[in-house]
Structure 1
Amino acid sequence: MLYVYIALGVLGALLLWVAIDIAIALTKNPIPDLPETGRDSSGLIMLYQVLPNPESIPGSISIDEKFIDECIQPTVQYINSRYDCADFSLLFLLRLYLEYKDLLPQSNRDTIKNTFLNFKYWMDEPGEDSMCYWSENHQLIFAVCEYLAGLEWSKEVFTNSGMTGEEHRRKALERINIWLEQRFTYGFSEWYSNNYYPEDIAPMANYIQFSDDKESVERMKIVMDLLWFDVATHSVNNTFVAASSRMYANNKSSDIGGNSIKDEMKVVWKAATTEILNEYAGESTFNFNGVEFKLKLCGQMSRNFSRMIEGGYYKVPDVIRKIGEDRSPTVIKASSGLSVEDMESDGLIGQDVNQIMAQLGAETFSNHPVIENTLKYISKNNMFRNKFVNPFKYLNIKLLRLLKVPAMLSRNFTLMTNGIALSRGNVYFYRNAHYSLATAVAQKVDAFGSQGHIWTANLAPDLTLYTTQPARDDDNDKKHKDSPGYWVGNGRQPMSVQDESINITIYKIPTKKRLTEFHIADISHAFVPKDKYDHLEILNDRLFGQKGKVLVAMIANGTLAYRPYEPKGAEALMRHEKAAENAEEGKEREFDLVRHGGEYHAYITELSDTDTESFEDFKARITKNAVNFKDGKVEYSS
């Protein structure tokens, strides 16, 4: 009987231990990552434009201490509140200060200085917040801001950390060198992302221009070359929408509406200056003390790059520019990023800075080889209230961790969060004078896919073609922008392969939810906006289209039918365009071509051009081609 009491006592103690940990977890509510009003940097960008050019605003407005304070306060308050992407604003605020501090009154300089002294630059520093420090682009932005702030105020004590500026400079230099080493060795984890490459270019530009460390500046220039090589080899006719590990709905749907790097590309391939980029931009309206004025202002990220180029600090090598201009038929095979297997084999799973930067930079959180390492790091740095990693608090139960339950769950069940991992991408890219086709070959087949863009055809600057298997198909409008959602990522990643101008993609349609999965969808679909094609025919399971000189055919293993025009979907995909105003216009602008039913959904896509054959000849040839769909397999001859 004594043993029974002892056993019950031990069991009770263990249950109490677990209950206490659960109670603690429930108190760790996430900190808001954004204010209700969003992030407004327009005043800061405007100030950067007018400080050296006071004649560009009405003469009745004085660029004095009060005016400058009104311009910078929204940015300063956002940074001081440590909302997500505060580092983006900090980066441009730093450029304004370093370029134009002699034009700033002392009180404004003090405001900016105190903002930098009180900032949190890395996860191991004091303070709780919901900033994302760890993704590839954020890693560099935080480190460059920390380095240059430490350089500028080297003898000052930074109030948040208690470290001197010089100590911060040295700490940041370590991370900068690690980041450069990992990019040179493994390439970019956010491979070929037209959304995130600009957020690498901007901090690289600031570092190249303002850093005093000549060795790391030269290394930064080498990695900048590699990034522009990526763009040059995965673009066509100055259009950059590639297969990528991270894209949102608008990024994948057209170069015009979603390519966030297009301004920087104009600088490289069109010799555009900041002034020219401003002319491309839409007008912004400002009002100070009842005086209204308008200015054309390009974005802050592209300004960092264009100003650095104008200063002569860096030049994209001519050979890279010529590669981007090449119009000859070309196949390019490239591999970039870090898989979990890479991390294991190269000793990159652990708590050291280089290990954490590799693991979290590749967005690898819950995969079974790393999940315990993730929990250890989050716990050590008191990060469970960070909104992005807050759900991990439910796994931070000491007894469960002692028994390796989180790793067991991740190993034996396909957790939805495993799909966040960017992994290594093996990308096949084909282009000619008229179009490009790209595929991330066999990328995490049948796994969740948070933001990956598996295959894409660039038909024109305003038109791409691709398919996805939605992660959700419910009535909530959030589905159009969620990652993964209706357009972003995939509920199940496909098997996708390519040979020159032909892509074959096969989805296994889910029938039941996996652990931690809230939604599944029994459809796949293609982005085919009717109004963007010069000619388009949908014939049951086949699509034939023409855009300029580009010809496209798609063959599915089931009927394809348009869903009615959906304004929220259109906003997510084509946010640069006005929504349809009535049902008749909506019918003409349908874009969501859906395939229902069946265990497997397969798509064959083939491209050609009118320099090679006419539309009718192309259609006749494709119609005669041998096609066989059977049990998740596809055979096609062309």
Structure 2
Amino acid sequence: ENHQILFHVTAYLAGQLWPERVFANSGWTGREQMRRNQPRIINWIRRRLRGNFSEWDSNAYMALDVFAMLALAEFAASERLRQMATTLLDKLFFLLACQSFRGAHASTHGRCYVTALKSARVENTSSLQRIAWGMGIFNGETRATGLLALARRYRVPDVIQRIGADVDTTLVTRARSYASFRPQFDMRGDAWDVRTLTYRTADVMLSAALDYRPGEMGIQEHLWQATLGPEACVFTTYPGNSQEHGNARPNFWAGSARLPRVGMHQRTVICLYQLDPNVGLGISHAYFPTAMFDDWRIDGQWACARVGAGYIALWGDGDLVLTDSGRHVAQELRSQGAGTAWIGHVGRAAQDGDFDAFQQRVRAHPPQMETGRIAWTTPDGNALAFGWEGALLVNGQPAAWDAYPHYANAYTDTPLDAEIMTIAHGGQTLQLDLKHGRRVP
């Protein structure tokens, strides 16, 4: 996805720079390069304005999408391309603002790498946040960051800057992204569809991709995460192998050999795996970096952690054991049960009392597993039931995932296939024409 637009934009801008030169690889003049690549760029942008990204909320590749759009917004001779790129940039920065926790792009990701999962300080999107609204840090990502810093035409709108800096508002973001792959560009032709739910407070964030291709082979998908700080995060995977480098996809921490079935309601996530000893490592495990927590406890099937006033509780289908030797010492949890079911629940002092009180609340009703289905009554009193088939039941009623809008939270309510996205915060409003690719005056 990101390679496509980088290639199209590079070819277009190179042709614009040397319109009469003949390019050796294509045999076309620069003017012909522009003519051929402009419709490709328009089609690519239009599909992301209306349908969003198959590499959704990627803390690796969103920066490259921003890089390509900034190059167009700053340098394209075509006013139409500049307008469309500017509109998609506005949308991208809005998505980044809503899917981040104090500068950490800590949401579910369509594609990811281990280093940026373990530390938000090395995310490619961190430096963009630093410039846009003063969070995150400057790191080795210099392409999009450098261009944003030097941009003369594009500026992140004030309303989006304010949203990015608003860390105290409790925010629940529902999003649905979908389109169809095109064989000539994607080497596949099927439809894709992802629904995500993110719950964020001033102290903790929980994010998940709901019921996304459960049981299918995974690559780099990161389907749920709870976040307390830049390095203080918790998630589970089904490791494809024992490697951590980026060329192993999936590997020990990034992606899953087979994707789990994930459900989420409010501040609780349930993650189910179908494990196969002949696929990947045949286990599931949890990332639980004890050195990054202010306090933590492991007792039976529960592992709980605290950073500041934020809490995370993790339950496994057997007693949880912290790895005590090797590369993953004091970072990895494994269940002594089947390893097919995990629950994550987040909390905060303002809602749950002190850390001891939080732990008592999550333990009050032990989760129950029956015939492949897990049931738990949360501290909020919600009776959840979830299995490999059927809907997530909340107090006996199915969660309405099929009715998800394109994007909805406290700042926007944008239906699926909407032509206009209205973004508002503190009396400021920005309207984006998603159909034509322009800001609405």
- TM-score category (smaller protein): 0.7 to 0.9
Is the 1:523–1:596 Cα contact (8 Å) retained in structure 2?
no
Preserved CA contact (<8 Å) 1:267 1:306: yes
Aligned residues: 376
Quote the Cα distance in structure 2 between the aligned partners of 1:238 and 1:486: 25
Counterpart of 2:143 in structure 1 is: 300
User: Do 1:144 and 1:207's aligned partners in 2 also have CA atoms closer than 8 Å?
Assistant: yes
> In structure 2, how many angstroms separate the alpha carbons of the residues matched to 1:500 and 1:592?
26
Cα deviation for residue 299 of structure 1 reads: 2.1
Q: 490, 494, 499: which one pairs with 2:265?
A: 499
**Please, which of 238, 243, 246 is the counterpart of residue 103 of structure 2?**
238
Q: 2:395 aligns to what?
A: none
Matches within 5 A, 1:39-438: 136-257=1-122, 259-270=123-134, 280=138, 299-308=142-151, 311=152, 313-326=153-166, 327-338=168-179, 343=180, 349=182, 356-357=184-185, 360=186, 365=188, 423-438=192-207
- How far apart in 1 are the matches of 2:158 and 2:371? 49
Contact 1:337/1:424 (8 A) holds in 2: yes
Provide closer, same or farther for how the CA distance between residues 565 and 481 of structure 1 changes in structure 2, counting only shifts above 3 A. Answer: farther
Change (3 A) 1:480 1:168: closer
Query: Whole-Å Cα distance in 1 between the matches of residues 308 and 247 of structure 2?
Result: 30
- Following superposition, the deviation at residue 540 of structure 1 comes to 2.4
- Quote the Cα distance in structure 1 between the aligned partners of 2:326 and 2:124: 24
Query: Which deviations, in whole Å up to 9, do the C-alpha atoms of 1:292-337 show, x marking residues without a partner?
Result: xxxxx862331122211xx2x0122222222223322221110124
1:629 aligns to what? 369
For 1:424, what is the secondary structure of its paired residue? strand
Aligned residue identity for 2:358: F
- Partner of 2:284, secondary structure, is strand
Letter in 1 for 2:119: S
> Is 2:301 the partner of 1:541?
yes
Instruction: Report the counterpart of residue 555 of structure 1 in structure 2.
Output: 315
Give the whole-Å Cα distance in 2 for the aligned partners of 1:238 and 1:336.
Answer: 23
Partner of 1:611: 350
> How large is the Cα RMSD of the aligned pairs?
2.2
Q: 1:543 and 1:298, CA in 2 relative to 1: closer, same or farther beyond 3 A?
A: closer
After TM superposition, the structure 1 = structure 2 runs for residues 454-473 of structure 1, keeping only pairs within 5 Å, are: 454-473=223-242
How far is the alpha carbon of 1:189 from its aligned partner? 1.5
| CA distance in 1: counterparts of 2:135 and 2:35, whole angstroms | 36
TM-score for both structures, normalised by structure 2: 0.80
Q: How does 1:522-533 map to 2 (within 5 A)?
A: 522-533=282-293
Q: Is the 8 A contact 2:234 2:286 kept in 1?
A: yes
Aligned partners of 1:451 and 1:484 also within 8 Å: yes
Distance 1:271 1:552 in 2: 23
Q: Which consecutive unaligned segments of at least 5 residues does structure 2 have?
A: 379-441
Offset from partner CA, 1:264-313 (integer Å, 9 cap, x none): 111100299xxxx8xx55xxxxxxxxxxxxxxx862331122211xx2x0
How far apart, in 1, do the equivalents of 2:303 and 2:204 lie? 18
CA distance in 1 between counterparts of 2:324 and 2:254 reads 19
* Equivalent-residue separation in structure 2 for 1:241 and 1:556 (angstroms): 22
Give the 3-state SS of the residue equivalent to 2:263 in structure 1. Answer: strand
Name the SS for the 2:251 alignment partner: coil
* C-alpha separation in 1, matches of 2:371 and 2:245: 30
Cα distance, 1:242 vs structure 2: 0.9
Rounded Cα–Cα distance in structure 2 between residues aligned with 1:185 and 1:534: 42
What CA distance in whole angstroms lies between the structure 2 residues aligned with 1:500 and 1:271?
A: 26
Amino acid at match of 1:325: A
Counterpart of 2:316 in structure 1: which amino acid?
Answer: A
Where structure 1 has 5 or more consecutive residues not aligned to the other structure, the ranges are 1-135, 282-296, 351-355, 371-420, 514-518, 570-586
The corresponding residue for 2:388 is: none
CA distance in 2, matches of 1:494, 1:214: 45
Rounded to whole Å, the distance in 2 between the matches of 1:504 and 1:550 is 19
Give, in whole Å, the separation in 2 of the partners of 1:595 and 1:481: 28
* Aligned-partner residue type, residue 246 of structure 1: R
Structure 1 position 550, deviation (Å): 0.9
CA contact (8 A) 2:69 2:85 kept: yes
Deviations 1:348-406 (A, max 9, x none): 656xxxxx33xx1xxx64xxx66xxxxxxxxxxxxxxxxxxxxxxxxxxxxxxxxxxxx
Deviation by residue 1:171-199 (Cα, 9 ceiling, x = unmatched): 11121111111111211121100100111
Task: Note the alpha carbon deviations across 1:502-555, whole angstroms, 9 max, x for none.
Answer: 1111112114x4xxxxx4323111111121111111112110211111111111
Q: Give 3-state SS (helix, strand or coil) of 1:168's partner.
A: helix
| Partner Cα separation in structure 2 for residue 260 and residue 349 of structure 1 | 27
Deviations 1:23-60 (A, max 9, x none): xxxxxxxxxxxxxxxxxxxxxxxxxxxxxxxxxxxxxx
Aligned equivalents of 1:565 and 1:302: distance in 2?
39
CA contact (8 A) 1:194 1:240 kept: yes
SS in 2 for 1:629: strand
Distance 1:190 1:478, change over 3 A: closer
1:481, distance to aligned residue in structure 2 (A): 5.8
- Equivalent residues of 1:522, 1:597 under 8 A apart: no
Question: What is the CA distance between 1:564 and its match in structure 2?
Answer: 3.9
Q: Distance in 2 between matches of 1:463 and 1:228?
A: 24
| Greater per-residue helix proportion | 1
Determine which structure has the larger strand proportion and give its number.
2
Equivalent residue number for residue 208 of structure 2: 439
> What is the deviation of 1:445?
0.7
CA contact (8 A) 1:530 1:591 kept: yes
Which one-letter code corresponds to 1:458 in the other structure?
Answer: T
1:452 is matched with which residue? 221
Name the CA distance, whole Å, in 1 between partners of 2:309 and 2:70. 38
Secondary structure of the residue aligned to 1:460 is coil
